Amino acid sequence: MIDWFIEMRILVYCAHYNTSLHSMKKIFVTLFLLSLITLTAFAQTKPNFWDDVQTIKKYDQMYKAPVNPVLFVGSSSIRKWDDCTQVFAKYNALNRGIGGAVINDITFYLNDIVFPYQPKQIVLYVGENDLVNDKVTPDTVLNRTIRLYQGIRAKLPTVPIVYISIKPSPSREKFKDKAVTSNALIKKYLSTEANTKFVDVYKPMLTKDGKLRPELFVGDMLHMNATGYAIWRKAVEPHLLK
C-alpha cells in the first residue's frame, strides 16, 4: 500500500502535470517496482568482495589513512599480516589486503583500494588463489598479472612496485608446478619493467633440499604464522622506501 507521504507526493505531481491520480499512481508504483528489482538484482550479482571493500572505505572515513604510504595490497596473505603496519612503521605502511581475492579482483578494485591512497610504493601479493581453478594455466596467471600491472601503471606510471612471488603452501602442493611456472613467467615479464622488483619467497620457504615446511603455516597449511612472515619480512624489507 502507498503510504500517506507518497500519496501526498502523487497529488502534488498530479496538480503540477495535470495528470489523473490513477495514472500517476500507476507511474509511481511502476518506478518503485523497477527500483526494487534493480536493487534486488544488484544484491544478488554484486561483485566479489564488494562488502569487504565497502567496509574498508567506511574505515577510511573514520580513520585517516597515512599520507603516501607503502601500500601492501593483495589476497589473504597480505590481509592476515596482522602486524604489517607495526613491523614496517618506519616505512609508513598501510595494509589493504582482501582475503580470498584473485588477481582480477584486485584489478577491479584499484580505484577503491590502491589509487585513493596515492602510495609512494606498492607491495603486491596475489595470484595463489587463481591456481586452484582447473581452467587457469600459468599463462592465465601471467596475463592477469600483466593486466593488473598495466592497470596500476595507467595512473601510477612511476611508483615502485614490489611483487612477492607465489608462496609454497602445503595445502596446495598439487599446484606446485603451476605455481613455479607462474612465478618464472611473471619474473621474466617484470624484469623488463622499470621501477619494479620481483621478490622470490618460494625458495626461501623451502628446506635446503626443496621440501615444504609446514612449520611456517597455521593449521590450514595455507596461511602463515609469525615464522613464515619473518621470512617475508627479510625478503621484502630491503626493497622498501622510507
Which phi and psi angles does 142 have, rounded to 5°? -60, -50
Q: How far apart are CA 27 and CA 183, in angstroms?
A: 58
For the chain, give every domain's residue range.
4-45, 50-239
Selection from 220, 138, 227, 137 nearest residue 183 by Cα? 138
Per-residue pLDDT in tens (0 to 9) along the chain, 242 residues: 445 545 555 555 555 656 565 665 566 556 556 555 655 555 568 999 999 999 999 999 999 999 999 999 999 999 999 999 999 999 999 999 999 999 999 999 999 999 999 999 999 999 999 999 999 999 999 999 999 999 999 999 999 999 999 999 999 999 999 999 999 999 999 999 999 999 999 999 999 999 999 999 999 999 999 999 999 999 999 999 98
Q: Given this model, what pLDDT does residue 14 score?
A: 56
Helix H or strand E segment including 96: strand 93-97
CA atoms within 13 A on the CB side of 76: 12
Half-sphere exposure of 6 (CA within 13 A, CB side): 11
Q: What is the grid cell recorded at 96?
A: 589493504
The answer to whether 26 touches 20, Cβ cutoff 8 Å, is no
**pLDDT for res 236:** 98
**Residues 96, 144: Cα–Cα separation, whole Å:** 20
Measured CA to CA, the distance from residue 228 to residue 214 in angstroms comes to: 10
Which pLDDT score is estimated for 45? 85
Q: Cell for 145?
A: 598479472
* Distance separating alpha carbons of residues 213 and 224, to the nearest angstrom: 11
Q: What's the pLDDT score for residue 31?
A: 59
59, amino acid identity: Y
- Domain 50-239: CATH superfamily, name plus number: SGNH hydrolase (3.40.50.1110)
